[in-house]
Structure formats: C-alpha cells, structure tokens
Chain A
Amino acid sequence: MDNEGKKILVIQTHGVETPTRTYSPLFYAMAAAAMEMEVMVWFTMNGTNQLKKGEAEKVQLDKSSNVTLKTMIQMAMDSDVKLRVCQQSLELWNMKKEDLIDGVEILGATSIIDLSLNADHVMYF
C-alpha cells in the first residue's frame, strides 16, 4: 500500500503537565513524514503550553538520555512536519506570539476546520 503524499493532521491537546502524552504524537508525525506524507501537528488546549519558549526542555521521559520534548519538537520540524498552534488557546496560557518557539505558525479555529476536512486522516491526542 502506497500512502505517499497523503495528508495527516495530528491534534495534540496534552501539555507539559502530562509528559508521557507528549512524545508519541510527535513520533507518529515523524513516522508519517518519513513515509512521505504531508504532516501537520495542531496544538490546542493544554498542548499549546509545550510550545512556550523554555518549557519543552524541562520535559524528559528518559532521565538517562539527553532527549527532551524540545528534541522531539526539533526532530519533527527537521522532518518537515509543520507545527501550528491555535490562536484562541494562546490566551488560555497567557501566551503571546513572541512566547512561542521559532517555527510555529498561529492559526484560528476556522483554519483547523478547513485542515481537518482536507486531511486524509486526523489523529487526536
């Protein structure tokens, strides 16, 4: 089965307070990108807080490794996974554009509806 070129949208609603729920969605996004799919991760609700500068570095699942959530986010970006954040959710965390790590684009609620309809598959976390 060849799935090249398909569009996968990953919706991440979990943030730094639940570390074990943060790595996998990014890992699946990277897997889809490696399989030549167009991949976007949409951060909303609590998911938004992991994009605040300085926060992802503090999340480390395996203390014996130097891989942090920041490493995972960077690897996803290096794999051409697009990262987007919900504009409305920024207010929930008192975050402004300048609080976000580089490489993340802000989109509104109507955009996520369009993106969902245009994706071949949506994964929710």
Chain B
Amino acid sequence: MSHEKINECVIPKDLHYSVEDNTWVRLNEDGTVTVGMTDIAQHLAGPILHAKAKGAGTDRKKGKPIATVESGKWVGPVKSPVSGVITEVNEKLAGDAQLINRSPYREGWVVKMKPEALDAELKEMVTGDQAVAAYKAKIERDNIKACNHIEGSDTY
C-alpha cells in the first residue's frame, strides 16, 4: 500500500481519515468498512493497556464511541467515523491491545461496520494526498513529536 511518512508518522494513502478524531476507514469489497486508530493516535496514547470495543450489533451514529482505549497516561473514546452497525470486533485486541500500537493499519483494526450513510460521510473525510496534507497541518498545529513505534511494529 502506498503511504507517506510525516515526522515518522505513517499515513497510508488508500484509507479515508477523520483527521480530528484520528481514525481511519478502509472500504471492503463486501460493503462493510474496517475502522481503526491512526499511527498518530497510537503514538499520542502511548503503549495501550486495554481496548474495549462495543459489541457486534451496536448501532452507532458518526462521532459516537465504538471503543474505549486506555494507556498508562490516557483514556478516551475511539469515535466512529461513520454511522452504521458494528458487524465484527477485533477479538485479538482483548488479549493484546498493543496490536494497535504495533500495527495500527493492519492487525490492530478495531471494528468492522455496515455503514448507513457512507457516500455522504466519506465526503467529510480525507484520503490520498489530501489526507497527507491534512495530517501535515495537524502535526504542525498540535506540535506532535515524531511518532514513536514500539518493538515489533510494522515497518514501512
């Protein structure tokens, strides 16, 4: 997958991003979407201790939490970038929440959802070069230090 690195933070260009909430969306062939936290999000949280997702079948409006994530220094929601129903939860996170740190865009996905208003909501997200530009601006604005990657992280 084509990607860009800004300040050591990885931004795959094929994903759609809700920049303010630091989440990504991957469009799957079966009409579902996969949702996860960005590399910047895992960096800001630090090594994650617990990730608790809402169960399959949960109906979420965009912006509502699909999971709560906690590290030693932070606890907060993962806000849904789309409206829809959770169809699958990444069960691996229950036993190894640091999958989010090591592999935010692959093994560490959070939930899969059946979106309800995808076309409209995708327009509110950014992808490709537009996403890279948006994150570049955010990293500068929020003075985000170089992304830290714990041992065993995916390499790009």
Interface positions of A (Cβ within 8 A of B): 27, 30-31, 34-36, 65, 67, 75, 79
Chain B positions within 8 Å of A31 at CB level? 68, 70, 75
Beyond known contacts A34-B65, A67-B73: 8 more, CB 8 A cutoff: A30-B75, A31-B70, A34-B76, A35-B65, A35-B68, A35-B77, A36-B64, A79-B76
Chain A positions within 8 Å of B76 at CB level? 30, 34, 79
Chain B positions within 8 Å of A36 at CB level? 64-65, 77
Q: A28 to B70: give the CA distance in the assembly, Å.
A: 11
Chain B positions within 8 Å of A65 at CB level? 73
Q: A33 to B46: give the CA distance in the assembly, Å.
A: 20
Question: B66-81: contact bitstring with A at CB < 8 Å (1 yes, 0 no)?
Answer: 0011100111110000
Q: A79 to B70: give the CA distance in the assembly, Å.
A: 14
Task: Kindly name the residue among B65, B75, B77 whose own CB sees the greatest number of chain A CB atoms within 10 A.
Answer: B75
Interface positions of B (Cβ within 8 A of A): 64-65, 68-70, 73-77
Q: A65 to B77: give the CA distance in the assembly, Å.
A: 22
Q: A40 to B70: give the CA distance in the assembly, Å.
A: 20
Chain A positions within 8 Å of B68 at CB level? 31, 34-35
Q: A67 to B76: give the CA distance in the assembly, Å.
A: 16
Q: A120 to B73: give the CA distance in the assembly, Å.
A: 26
3 A-B pairs with least C-beta separation: A34-B77, A34-B68, A31-B75
Chain A positions within 8 Å of B64 at CB level? 36
* Distance to closest chain A CB from B94 (angstroms): 16
Residue of A nearest to B73 (CB): A67
Chain A positions within 8 Å of B69 at CB level? 34
Q: A45 to B73: give the CA distance in the assembly, Å.
A: 26
Given contacts A36-B64, A36-B65, contact A75 B70 (CB under 8 A): no
Residue of B nearest to A78 (CB): B76
* Distance to closest chain A CB from B49 (angstroms): 12
Chain B positions within 8 Å of A30 at CB level? 75-76
